[in-house]
Each structure stands twice: as structure tokens, then as C-alpha cells.
């Protein structure tokens, strides 16, 4: 392998790491799982498989999210030198101009794919891409808006699939609500982990505003309240939705238990373990609709 080829290969490898290809693949799989196992109840597999618009939406979301990870890396380059020094050093080998060029290509590709689906999808995607950029540029420096917007943006690709099929689905509200709880809790845990870099570079997170000790406490109280509200609200839902009740209870309970552990125990290892548990919980939650077939 020549020096030039080796350099291109290193750039490609670093780029794949920056766009978090595993997260993009997981999100892509989650959208298809929703389409086949949730919205496929009243449709044949052939109808969904041949749904050209669905495939365009999923691809557009993949490029938009990959672009979002890239622009987030661009804006967080200085902070990552403190919180993720090894990753930030490797990122500098790619070069900011190269990252921005790929980001533009991804966003344009997402917009073109959305336009091929429909004008409505294109308009939705244009707003989605803008908000993803605005989050990295502004929102992630505003306490509470940072955590809430990050959690909501994680749900947006799933909402596009829901909007595409247009079916009223009460159970999906439980599914998405508990996923939001998992995502929000993980965002706060990540803020606790990166608190040093956030303070140094002026990222005013809820953890920075309230302090790490109090942040652990209010996260626990919030999850306790949300779990209580879920239990009260679920009592009024149709109990024929066994899967949605089950998966949302598991995820809501996991958020509460992790916040309880973090609230009572300090240390970087505890935070790392909490982050890993929540990450696994999100993966399982996203893939869980597959079990609908056997229920």
C-alpha cells in the first residue's frame, strides 16, 4: 500500500468512526423494524418491501444523522481534547475542511433522497437537517434545551416512519415516550462524564448549572416522577397492548434504576458503567418490536 493510499484509508477509517456508523446502522434497522413489525400488521411484507418512499426516507435519515455526527465532532473539537483526548487527536488527522466537505455532501444527499420521496418529505428533512446543525451550533450550549433537544432529535427518524404510514398508534406513544426517558437519562450521564470539558469551553449544561452532586439527585427525582406518571397513565390504556406496556415499563424502570445508582454512588467508573447499561437498553428497546411477531 502506497503512502497516499494508506493516508486515504486512515481518513476513511477515522471518518467512519466520526459518523458513528454503528449508530447509523442501528437507527436504519430500527426504522425498518417499525415498518415491518409495527406498521406491517395491516400490510403484507411485499407491500412494505416494495415501498420506494419508505426506502428513500430511511436512506435520507441515515445521511442526515451521519452528517449530524460529523458537524457535532466539528463543533466539539476543542472540548473533546479534554473529554476524549485520544479521539480528538485522531480527528485532527482528518482535517476540518475534509470533515465539512463530507458534511455538506451528506446533507445534500439526504435532501435529494427526500425530494425523490415527496415534497413533504423534503421539507421535513430540510427542517430536520437545519435543527441538527442548530443543535450543534447553539442548543447544546443551553441548559435543559441541550438534553431535551438531543433526546427528541434521536426520536425524529422513527417519527418520519410513523408519519409516512400515517396510522394512529397509541402503543407507539408508550414506546417512544420510554425511549425518550432512556435517551434523556443517558444525555445527563454523558454531561456528568464530560463536565470538566463542558466547564472549560463554556457548554452550560444542566450539570454545570446545578453542580454534579445535585444533578445526580434531580435526575433520580425526575425519573421517579416519570416512572410514577407512566404507571398511572398506563392504567388507563387498553391492556391489549401487551408488548408496548412491557417494553416501556422495562425501559422506564431501567432509567430509574440507573439514576438511583448514579445518585447514590460517585466515581467515573460508575458513570461509565451507567452509560454502557443505558446504551445497551436503548439498543434493546429499538430492536424490541421484533417480538411482536410472537405475541
Helix H, strand E, coil C: the string for the chain is CCHHHHHHHHHHHHHHHHCCHHHHHHHHHHHHHHHHHHHHHHCCHHHHHCCHHHHHHHHHHHHHHHHHHHHHHHHCHHHHHHHCHHHHHHHHHHCHHHHHHHHHHHHHHHHHHHHHHCHHHHHHHHHHHHHHHHHHHCHHHCCCHHHHHHHHHHHHHHHHHHHHHCCCCHHHHHHHHHHHHHHHHHHHHHHHHCHHHHHHCCCCCHHHHHCHHHHHHHHHHHHHHHHHHHHHHHCCCCCCCHHHHHHHHHHHHHHHHHHHHHHHCCCHHHHHHHHHHHHHHHHHHHHHHHHHHHC
pLDDT at 132 over 60: yes
Among 31-45, 148-162, 238-252, the least confident range: 238-252
Give residue 84's pLDDT.
60
Give residue 293's pLDDT.
58
pLDDT at 255 over 60: yes
Give residue 4's pLDDT.
52
Q: What is the mean pLDDT of residues 59-81?
A: 83
Give residue 182's pLDDT.
94
The Cα diameter of the chain in Å comes to 66
Give residue 268's pLDDT.
83
pLDDT at 9 over 90: no
Better pLDDT: 180 or 203? 180
Give residue 90's pLDDT.
57
pLDDT at 161 over 60: yes
Better pLDDT: 294 or 86? 294
pTM over 0.75: yes
Amino acid at each position: 500500500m502506497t503512502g497516499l493510499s494508506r493516508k486515504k484509508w486512515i481518513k476513511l477509517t477515522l471518518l467512519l468512526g466520526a459518523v458513528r456508523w454503528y449508530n447509523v446502522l442501528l437507527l436504519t434497522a430500527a426504522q425498518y423494524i417499525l415498518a415491518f413489525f409495527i406498521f406491517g400488521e395491516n400490510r403484507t411484507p411485499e407491500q412494505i418491501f416494495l415501498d420506494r418512499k419508505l426506502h428513500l426516507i430511511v436512506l435520507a435519515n441515515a445521511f442526515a444523522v451521519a452528517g449530524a455526527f460529523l458537524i457535532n465532532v466539528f463543533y466539539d473539537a476543542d472540548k473533546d481534547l479534554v473529554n476524549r483526548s485520544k479521539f480528538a487527536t485522531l480527528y485532527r488527522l482528518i482535517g476540518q475542511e475534509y470533515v465539512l466537505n463530507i458534511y455538506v455532501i451528506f446533507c445534500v444527499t439526504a435532501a435529494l433522497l427526500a425530494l425523490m420521496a415527496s415534497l413533504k418529505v423534503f421539507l421535513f428533512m430540510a427542517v430536520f437537517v437545519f435543527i441538527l446543525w442548530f443543535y450543534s451550533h447553539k442548543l447544546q450550549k443551553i441548559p435543559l434545551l441541550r438534553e431535551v433537544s438531543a433526546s427528541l432529535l434521536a426520536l425524529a427518524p422513527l417519527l418520519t416512519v410513523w408519519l409516512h404510514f400515517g396510522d394512529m398508534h397509541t402503543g407507539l406513544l408508550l414506546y417512544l415516550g420510554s425511549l425518550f426517558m432512556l435517551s434523556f437519562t443517558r444525555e445527563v450521564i454523558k454531561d456528568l462524564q464530560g463536565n470538566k470539558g463542558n466547564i472549560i469551553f463554556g457548554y452550560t449544561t444542566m450539570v454545570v448549572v446545578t453542580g454534579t452532586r445535585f444533578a445526580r439527585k434531580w435526575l433520580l427525582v425526575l425519573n421517579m416522577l416519570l416512572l410514577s406518571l407512566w404507571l398511572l397513565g398506563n392504567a388507563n390504556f387498553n391492556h391489549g397492548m401487551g408488548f408496548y406496556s412491557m417494553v416501556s415499563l422495562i425501559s422506564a424502570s431501567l432509567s430509574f434504576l440507573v439514576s438511583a445508582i448514579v445518585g447514590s454512588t460517585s466515581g467515573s467508573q460508575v458513570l461509565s458503567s451507567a452509560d454502557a447499561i443505558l446504551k445497551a437498553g436503548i439498543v434493546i428497546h429499538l430492536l424490541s418490536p421484533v417480538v411482536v411477531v410472537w405475541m
